[in-house]
Amino acid sequence: MTTPYDRVAYPSSVFIQTHPERLAVLMMLAGLQPVDPRHSRILEIGGGDCLNLLSFATMWPECEAHGFDLSEVAIARGVRIARSAGLENVTLVVDDIVEAHRRYPAGSFDYVIVHGVYAWVPDHVREACMALVAHVLSENGVAMISYNAMPGGHVRLIMREMLMNVVDGIEDFDARIDATRSFLEDYARPREGDEPLATTLRQQAESMLKRPDSVLFHDELGDCYSPQRLIEVVRSGEALGLRHLTDAGRNRHLDGFLKDGADLPDDADQAVLIAASGDDYASLRYFRHTLFVRTGQPIDRKIYADRIAGLCLSTKLRRQEDGSFLQGGDQIEIADEDLAAAIDRAGSLAPQRIPLSEIARTPEHLRVILQLFTEWYVSLHLGPAPFPLEPGEKPQTSPLVSAMLEMGELTVCTLDHALLKIEQAELRGLLLAADGQHSIADIAEAGHGIPADEVPLALAASCRRGLLSH
């Protein structure tokens, strides 16, 4: 069966919210015992070409990574990448969410990822999706389901209605996109006398203009779009034996927990759910990444920052001359000088992962680090990085990076679960030459357009970007 995603490919990407390590840390914060991702069973539902999953399979060779999608074209691409990379721990298949429960035994996966699917399918498929998650999730597993949320979904629904009216009767892809962009460019311009709703809609139109054509085609002009209320999603999971844990999105990690110092209510699950749902409406939330565990899991809704004490930290935060920290245009202050100096040191060593025991000297330090984690200024890890920090005697490029380079891809997926664009022919040649069979001296002698004395530096820099494997 041909799908719209066979006709127009959706962009490949990776998503930090889905990372099993992040999900495991949130389980630990709730007093639960997650399965070690390095030896886990991971399922990605409706993952397109499943590049996100291939990233996990590459960094953890001993995990079992399974993924499926209804698009034959997308899965064929993922299979090509996996085979070229020699990933023997990956199984990708074409399957339908409604039928997939026949393929996978009950309780067969420790991490289940459903990203970018739940709000874009018909009702019966959405119900089958939640049922599949409940069927395959292991006793100590965790699932992440993302979806367009209410009330922000109302704004996108209004924009969608406008756009569907604009493209009515237009079948050609290019013509639909041209009509859509023309309308959005005009509508995004503010008008004198705009009321608050009109201003919000125009801001949404401006945001849509920044999206690739293929994303506009599927997300805004697709056949199905049904944004969800958090309470409805949680209730759907509860009916199937799943329990709401928290949210994997930025600034949302603590949504499943009681406020610091709050008394434990009779029904803590209901209390945090009502609070999070109310905040959705107060903040005009557009998107959620809801986590589920099995109903029997003993979630502790109180926050104890010392539960992260045994983890490692990495960060890109760097201190500025005025003492503040800057990342991605955000400027933050860390009042405690000892902690600020430790965070600055960690940033200088990125992507190295530093044990929190070397950073957090007091309980208050741990509380600040937990807040930085929820805001995505630092990442917390269960252990050391799955890539070397310095080139080995015979450096080897990550098999996933090599495979994507050999396929002519300009953007590759690193062992740090990030996308990196590599356009320089010399660097591409150098990375392909680092095959684990040749010494740095051999690689330097071969040339590849990089001066011999600069090859060690180039390889060291590649290590720091997660491009080389152990």
Domain membership of residue 357 (yes or no) is yes
User: Which of 273, 163, 175 minimizes the C-alpha distance to 222?
Assistant: 163
Residue 257: pLDDT above 90? Answer: yes
Residue 5: pLDDT above 80? Answer: no
Residue carrying the six token digits 């201190």: 319
DSSP assignment letter at 266:
S
Range of the domain at 211: 153-220
Say if CB 225 and CB 117 are below 8 A apart. Answer: no
Domain membership of residue 388 (yes or no) is no
Domain membership of residue 401 (yes or no) is yes
Domain membership of residue 302 (yes or no) is no
Whether residue 281 is found in the same domain as residue 375:
no
Domain membership of residue 214 (yes or no) is yes
Whether residue 117 is found in the same domain as residue 258:
yes
Residue where a domain stops, chosen among 220, 250, 277: 220
pLDDT in tens, 439-449: 999 998 876 78
Whether residue 118 is found in the same domain as residue 246:
yes
Whether residue 77 is found in the same domain as residue 112:
yes
pLDDT in tens, 191-248: 999 999 999 999 999 999 999 998 888 888 888 899 999 999 999 999 999 999 999 9
Whether residue 126 is found in the same domain as residue 256:
yes
Note the pLDDT of residue 146.
98
Per DSSP bridges, beta strands 330-332 and 325-327 are: antiparallel
Which helix (H) or strand (E) segment holds residue 318: the answer is strand 318-319
Between the alpha carbon of residue 409 and those of residues 402, 425, 463, the distances in Å are 10, 12, 20
Rounded to two decimals, the pTM is 0.95
Q: What is the number of domains present in the chain?
A: 4
93 φ/ψ angles, rounded to the nearest 5 degrees? -140, 160
pLDDT in tens, 21-31: 999 999 999 99
pLDDT tier, 38 (very low <50, low <70, confident <90, very high otherwise): very high
Say if CB 459 and CB 467 are below 8 A apart. Answer: no
Please give the single-letter amino acid code of residue 438.
H
Mean pLDDT, the chain, rounded, equals 94
Whether residue 157 is found in the same domain as residue 145:
no
DSSP assignment letter at 162:
H
Note the pLDDT of residue 39.
97
User: Which of 28, 39, 34, 269 minimizes the C-alpha distance to 139?
Assistant: 34
Residue carrying the six token digits 């859509």: 180
Residue carrying the six token digits 């209004």: 158
The C-alpha angle with vertex 276 and arms to 270 and 282, in degrees rounded to 5, equals 135
Whether residue 31 is found in the same domain as residue 106:
yes
Cα–Cα distance between 73 and 447 in angstroms, integer? 38
Tell whether the torsion through CA atoms of 285, 68, 409 and 315 is positive or negative. Answer: positive
**Helix, strand, coil shares of the chain as percentages rounded to 5?**
45, 15, 40
pLDDT tier, 43 (very low <50, low <70, confident <90, very high otherwise): very high
Domain membership of residue 387 (yes or no) is no
pLDDT in tens, 377-401: 999 999 999 999 899 999 999 999 9
Residue carrying the six token digits 């779009």: 225
Whether residue 45 is found in the same domain as residue 99:
yes
pLDDT in tens, 117-157: 999 999 999 999 999 999 999 999 999 999 999 999 999 99
Say if CB 95 and CB 63 are below 8 A apart. Answer: no
Q: What percent of the chain has pLDDT over 70?
A: 99
Residue 1: pLDDT above 70? Answer: no
Whether residue 235 is found in the same domain as residue 210:
no
Whether residue 212 is found in the same domain as residue 241:
no
Whether residue 131 is found in the same domain as residue 188:
no
Residue where a domain stops, chosen among 357, 381, 405: 381
pLDDT tier, 12 (very low <50, low <70, confident <90, very high otherwise): confident
Say if CB 403 and CB 455 are below 8 A apart. Answer: no
Largest CA distance in the chain: 70
pLDDT in tens, 148-187: 999 999 999 999 999 999 999 998 989 999 999 999 999 9
Residue 45: pLDDT above 90? Answer: yes
| Tokens describing residue 362 | 């007091």
Whether residue 142 is found in the same domain as residue 157:
no
Q: What is the CATH number of the domain that holds 139?
A: 3.40.50.150
Domain membership of residue 299 (yes or no) is no
210 Cβ partners below 8 Å, 6+ apart? none
Domain membership of residue 390 (yes or no) is no
